[in-house]
């Protein structure tokens, strides 16, 4: 990490990719692409109907492949010219990387990777579909390398440690309702400047040093860049 640059940690959520056409988990109707989250994004769902879950994520993989980074993804990447930037994302897409960000930590896994149901450590790339009967080298069924609800979030500890070297903390495009990811805000020191960007600001009134930008991610990131330039 360059010594002369301040360190920005960004927690991003589905709202930043919504402007690239990728629907959020809960768009007001409690459904994700017409499905109850409990039916497609839990270990129980995969045990009950693995074909449904595989089909669901195969379609999500196609959706992500067809999407393109928007101005918010690109704007955060451009901050790397003047800052050290670490993106901690709840998103399973690769739009941050394609937008130019070079340091991205995926809390909830990545749609273009897969793993055995019996081995959480060995990860394989996948660009096409995962089919029922597709086996990993260990002989077990392959599944999306996604952290489902009711599963542990192994990258969370690494994300929390980032707060020790953070100079600015930015939250963009997340309702702060999905834990443990939302708890990252709790670990931000009181003195740390915190920027919350969302088209509807979540309830964060009790946190000190808050700068609220109530705009969609694309417009909000542009305003953030102006604010940081003025500091």
Residues 180 and 92 in one domain: yes
pLDDT of residue 27: 55
Nearest to 210 by CA among 158, 171, 163: 171
Question: What separation in angstroms does the CA of 57 have from each of 20, 33, 216?
Answer: 18, 11, 26
How many domains does the chain fold into?
Answer: 2
Tell me the residue range of the domain where 221 lies. Answer: 1-22+69-108+153-231
Q: In CATH, what number is assigned to the domain containing residue 218?
A: 3.40.50.1220
pLDDT of residue 211: 95
Residues 134 and 205 in one domain: no
Q: What average pLDDT does the chain have? A: 93
Residues 177 and 211 in one domain: yes
Nearest to 173 by CA among 2, 23, 7: 23
Q: Does this model's pTM top 0.85?
A: yes
Instruction: Give the chain's largest Cα–Cα span.
Output: 56
Residues 135 and 157 in one domain: no
pLDDT (tens digit, 9 = 90+) per residue, 75-131?
Answer: 999 999 999 999 999 999 999 999 999 999 999 999 999 999 999 999 999 999 999
Q: In CATH, what number is assigned to the domain containing residue 49?
A: 3.30.1600.10
Residues 119 and 209 in one domain: no
Q: Are 153 and 147 in contact (CB under 8 A)?
A: yes
From the list 73, 96, 106, 108, the catalytic residue is 108
Residues 142 and 172 in one domain: no
Higher-scoring residue by pLDDT: 27, 20: 20
* HEC-encoded secondary structure of 73-89: HHHHHHHHHCCEEEEEE
Residues 198 and 212 in one domain: yes
> 108 an active-site residue?
yes
Residue 190's φ and ψ, nearest 5 degrees, are -60, -35
Nearest to 90 by CA among 7, 25, 20: 25
Residues 18 and 88 in one domain: yes
Checking if the pLDDT of 178 tops 90, the result is: no
Residues 115 and 199 in one domain: no
Question: What separation in angstroms does the CA of 191 have from each of 157, 168, 210?
Answer: 21, 10, 10
Residues 183 and 158 in one domain: yes
Q: Are 173 and 14 in contact (CB under 8 A)?
A: yes
Residues 56 and 128 in one domain: yes
Residues 91 and 61 in one domain: no
Token pair listed for 94: 């690769």
């Amino acid at each position: 990490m360059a010594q002369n640059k301040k360190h920005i940690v960004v927690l991003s959520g589905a709202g930043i990719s919504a402007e690239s056409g990728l629907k959020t988990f809960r768009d007001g109707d409690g459904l994700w692409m017409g499905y109850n989250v409990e039916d497609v994004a839990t270990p129980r769902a995969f045990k009950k109907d693995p074909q449904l879950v595989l089909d669901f994520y195969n379609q999500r993989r196609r959706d992500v492949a067809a999407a393109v980074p928007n101005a918010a993804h690109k704007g955060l990447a451009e901050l790397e010219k003047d800052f050290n930037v670490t993106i901690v994302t709840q998103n399973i897409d690769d739009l941050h990387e394609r937008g130019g960000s070079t340091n991205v930590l995926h809390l909830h896994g990545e749609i273009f990777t897969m793993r055995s149901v019996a081995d959480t450590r060995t990860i394989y790339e996948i660009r096409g579909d995962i089919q029922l009967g597709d086996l990993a080298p260990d002989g077990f069924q392959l599944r999306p390398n996604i952290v489902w609800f009711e599963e542990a979030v192994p990258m969370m500890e690494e994300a929390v440690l980032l707060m020790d070297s953070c100079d600015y903390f930015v939250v963009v495009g997340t309702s702060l309702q999905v834990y443990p990811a939302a708890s990252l805000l709790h670990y931000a020191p009181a003195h740390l400047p915190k920027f919350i960007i969302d088209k509807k600001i979540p309830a964060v009134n009790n946190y000190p040093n808050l700068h609220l930008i109530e705009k969609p991610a694309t417009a909000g990131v542009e305003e953030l860049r102006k604010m940081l330039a003025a500091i």
